[in-house]
Homo-oligomer: A and B are copies of this chain.
Amino acid sequence: IDRFGTALARAKKLRNLRLKHGWDLEDFRTANELVSEPGPYALHDSMFLVTIKEQGTPEQHDLFLKKAEKHGIIGCYAQTELGHGSNVRGLETTATWNPEDKTFTMHSPYLTASKWWIGSLGKTANYAVVMAQLIIDGKSYGPHPFVMQIRDLKTHEPLENIHVGDIGPKFGYNTMDNGFLLFKNVKIPHIGMLARFSRVDPKSNKYVRRGSPFLVYGTLTWIRSTIVMQAGGVLARGVTIATRYSAIRRQFQDRDAREWEGGENQVLNYTMVQIRLLPLLAATFALHFTGKSMMNLYQENQKKMNAGIANADSSKRGAGPEETESGSDLLADLHATSCGLKALSSTIAAEGLEVCRRACGGHGYSSFSGIGPWYADYLPTTTWEGDNYMLTQQVARYLLKSARSVLNNNAPTNDTTRILKDFRSRADIGCAFDILGSDCDLVSAFAWRVSFLTFEVLKHRDEQKKAWNDLLVDFYRLSKAHSQFMVVKNFHSALSENSTREKLDDDTLQIMHKLFRLFALHTLEQEGSEFFASGACTVKQISLARTNAVMKLLQDIRPHAVGLVDAWAFDDWVLDSSLGRKDGKVYEDMFYRASELNPLNWITVDPYPDSEVLFRRDERSKL
């Protein structure tokens, strides 16, 4: 409760500062990012406003959006339910059309229909966008968005027949009031259904579809691309802290050191620490460049689509993006790629943060490391906007379709079909990639592995008729392979582009190139058996990569490690970490925080079990 109260106060303050200083959206986003914690208005600012904007009519914008932008109403986005998350079509909340008085009845027929995990709903919001099954005359038309009031605008108490509250403590994210919401036959007016893409005609009481909501799927792609981009920065915080600390921390002498070489060794000099941290350092840049490239592609494509949208025949499209004809437009390619990359990059970032925390040894466990809470708050990213395991099916499905089109010689032209065709064209002669001598070959080896796995899985599914469920693990591997290829390829391209080369001096470019090779070769070695099984390289090459190339790269990058993390330019107050201080005063800061700022030290306990007194002296009130 204390944490939530502080977060609420902070969020209010931020909004008032915005008003006072006239920050634009970009400024405001930056300010929020600097605060680095999820706040009670987060879903109001994002999903509530965006959904009304994108799916509402001009009339609905007038009615809801204007008030919302001035915080006259505070909203949230209520989709997930207690019983259903990933499977949106399985939602149980109903919105039943009442022809007699032209209203909808919102109802939660079961306990599992309760909205759950809804950010900003627990305590803060008085409005909500609610996803509910639209029912007209007993027939269900699938989930649709409805805007409705849930709390009194004055007293802030729940309206009648609405049960709403906070869902309780979580592993992280406790500065956010995730909530639950149940309806007992609550009526809302016709205007409540967001009607840009479909509506109920109040005269005929019929369901009317107008236009295709497929731009909305573009939005999802966009959100996933930003997750990829952010993953680099998120991970960079952990890498910065662990790298700086490992350069300060000394422990043991080098075992081969001669007697007269006194003093303990910087922890960062040990190869066992380097092999954990430096590939992650390389990953921060790899993910950054990949995210950037995805967002560029998205914007280009969006322009093309907006230009061509009048001509597009969207009536043949199904509702989901997975139904688009692969290659009929670039969106399908982008969509699949963004699914896989979202899964891979958020997994790399989340697991990498924990690796960084552990690389800080015992002190990494202290809250003063600054990594633990940040990690805990980041974790849900691996589940939301598509669970990382679920998403891999989308990628596999797309790759299978592409492979079928290549086999049938009706493949569209895009990056995916290109590598599949290349692979097929060399079916009889194999490959010989010089992965340690040529960067291009290294990238090609990643492409080769993807193609090999794709056709393997295709054989299982189409020839051996294996059950979908029996292939989920293969799909996961396939998606991972594809996404790793994309990251390696994008990192390589970014360093080859003139725009990058002009901005960086030769030394920097050389170091970035080493980071690229470290990321690619370390990944290759980790996934060694797939590379070998696909014939993309030999066992000898993998073994040389591991024992020679990677070790040499660690050695080369080590002297630049602190400089490279400094390039991310996090301020000390953003990192909020004793271990990651730029000035290296690690121990002084830990001691200061423990000794001076720790409220537990304003208390004296009674230590004896036979005494019922717990606290003998309590000076917290003197604060």
Contact = CB atoms under 8 A, between A and B. Distances in A.
Contacts of A608: 71, 74
A117 to B, nearest CB: 6
B112 A587 contact: yes
B166 A367 contact: no
Nearest to A615: B5
A600 interface: yes
A210 to B, nearest CB: 29
B271 A469 contact: yes
Contacts of A11: 609
Contacts of A80: 362
Contacts of A86: 251-252, 361
Contacts of A12: 609, 611-612
Interface in A71-85: 71, 74, 80, 82-85
A395 to B, nearest CB: 13
A587 B251 CA distance: 50
Q: In the assembly, how many copies of this chain are there? A: 2
Contacts of A587: 82-83, 111-112
Contacts of A533: 539, 543
Given A1-B620, A177-B600, A607 B111 contact: no
Contacts of A470: 271, 551
Contacts of A468: 254-256
A108 B539 CA distance: 54
Contacts of A361: 85-86, 383, 387
A568 B601 CA distance: 41
Given A12-B612, A587-B112, A383 B366 contact: no
B389 A170 contact: no
Interface string A357-393: 1100110011110001100100110111001010000
Contacts of A173: 365
A616 interface: yes
A406 to B, nearest CB: 23
Interface stretch (A118-126, A140-148, A195-203, A442-450): A118-126
A432 interface: no
Interface in A462-478: 467-476
A165 B595 contact: yes
A614 B5 contact: yes
B270 A180 contact: no
A219 interface: no
A207 interface: no
A4 B600 CA distance: 9
Given A11-B609, A529-B528, A607-B126, A180 B591 contact: yes
Given A12-B612, A595-B163, A85 B362 contact: yes
Contact of A594 (B90, B180, B611): B180
A170 B71 contact: no
A363 to B, nearest CB: 8
A259 interface: no
Contacts of A475: 272
B82 A170 contact: no
Contacts of A71: 608-610
Contacts of A384: 362
A605 B166 CA distance: 12
Contacts of A4: 600
Contacts of A90: 251-252, 264
A111 B592 CA distance: 11
B600 A171 contact: no
Given A1-B603, A8-B605, A168 B594 contact: yes
Nearest to A72: B608
Contacts of A620: 1
A367 B168 contact: yes
Contacts of A85: 251, 361-362
Contacts of A473: 271-272, 275, 551
Nearest to A251: B87
Interface in A123-140: 123-126
Interface string A252-281: 101110000000100001111001000000
Q: Which 10 A-B pairs rank lowest in CB-CB distance, beginning with the nearest?
A: A528-B529, A171-B372, A15-B609, A272-B472, A169-B367, A255-B468, A166-B600, A165-B601, A529-B529, A168-B598
22 contacts: A1-B603, A4-B600, A40-B607, A71-B608, A87-B264, A90-B264, A114-B591, A117-B362, A123-B604, A165-B595, A168-B367, A171-B357, A171-B376, A173-B365, A177-B600, A180-B591, A271-B470, A271-B473, A358-B383, A362-B380, A362-B384, A528-B528
Interface of A: 1, 4-5, 8-9, 11-12, 15-16, 40-41, 71, 74, 80, 82-87, 90, 111-112, 114, 117, 122-126, 155-157, 163, 165-173, 177, 180, 250-252, 254-256, 264, 269-272, 275, 354, 357-358, 361-362, 365-368, 372-373, 376, 379-380, 382-384, 387, 389, 467-476, 528-529, 532-533, 539, 542-543, 547, 551, 587-588, 590-591, 593-595, 597-601, 603-612, 614-616, 620
